[in-house]
């Protein structure tokens, strides 16, 4: 099954996708029914099935959109820096901005794991891997000591980034400042010069 197999009527599809993202992010995948989505979009369940074959296909479409939105932000931000540490810091800040955004798509990607939807777990994992592969390229460009496990360090950093919405509060540290703080231990480990910038 692929997201592109969903039957879409252009004028209703964006609203349905937005509603599904909001419901999945707020309630979770299993707690969201097609009736919930119908109520949120003022559509009948039958009308939803005209657009998409199943709830799994709808989740896959939301996931695909969420991953693409994060990727677009990260790649645009990283393109503004040449030095590897600066590029990674920009990528982290863009990822944080995506997951802290009021929009629900990125929150679906970090909240709903592939095993939550076994029927499409392989497709969801493929989408997550697509993003993580891009992030891994930025991470691979920095120099860590050989005795350190770079894969564990990268996954720990991703985990910390994705946990940020749990504790982040408006009016606290800025997103770029949080990105610098998350990267600071790795910079220190590598003996890299600390970044300078706005707080």
Q: Where do the domains of the chain lie?
A: 3-190
CA distances 98 to 22, 81, 149, Å, are: 15, 19, 27
Q: Model-level pTM?
A: 0.84
Topology of domain 3-190 in CATH is Tetracycline Repressor; domain 2 (1.10.357)
Closest CA to 95 of 143, 154, 164: 164
Which long-range contacts does 10-13 make (Cβ < 8 Å, 24+ apart)?
12/41, 12/43, 12/47, 12/51, 13/51
Q: What is the pLDDT of residues 93-120, one digit of tens each?
A: 999 999 998 778 999 999 999 999 999 9
What DSSP string describes 43-107?
Answer: --HHHHHHH-S-HHHHHHHHHHHHHHHHHHHHHHHHTT--SHHHHHHHHHHHHHHHHHSSSSHHH
Q: What is the pLDDT of residues 129-175, one digit of tens each?
A: 999 999 999 999 998 888 889 999 999 999 999 999 999 998 889 99
What SS3 class is residue 145? Answer: coil
């Amino acid at each position: 099954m692929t997201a592109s197999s969903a039957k879409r009527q252009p004028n209703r599809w964006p609203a349905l996708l937005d509603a599904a993202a909001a419901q999945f992010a707020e309630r979770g995948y299993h707690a969201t029914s097609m009736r919930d989505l119908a109520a949120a979009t003022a559509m009948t369940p039958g009308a939803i099935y005209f657009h998409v074959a199943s709830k799994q296909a709808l989740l896959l479409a939301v996931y695909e959109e969420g991953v693409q939105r994060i990727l677009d932000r990260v790649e645009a931000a990283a393109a503004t820096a040449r030095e590897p540490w600066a590029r990674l810091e920009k990528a982290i800040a863009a990822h944080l901005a995506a997951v802290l955004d009021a929009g629900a798509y990125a929150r679906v990607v970090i909240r709903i794991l592939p095993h939550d939807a076994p029927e499409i777990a392989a497709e969801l994992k493929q989408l997550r891997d697509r993003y993580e592969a891009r992030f891994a390229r930025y991470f691979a460009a920095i120099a860590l000591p050989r005795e350190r496990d770079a894969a564990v360090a990268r996954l720990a950093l991703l985990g910390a980034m994705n946990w940020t919405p749990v504790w982040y509060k408006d009016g606290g540290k800025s997103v770029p400042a949080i990105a610098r703080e998350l990267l600071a231990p790795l910079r220190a480990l590598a003996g890299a010069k600390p970044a300078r910038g706005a707080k």
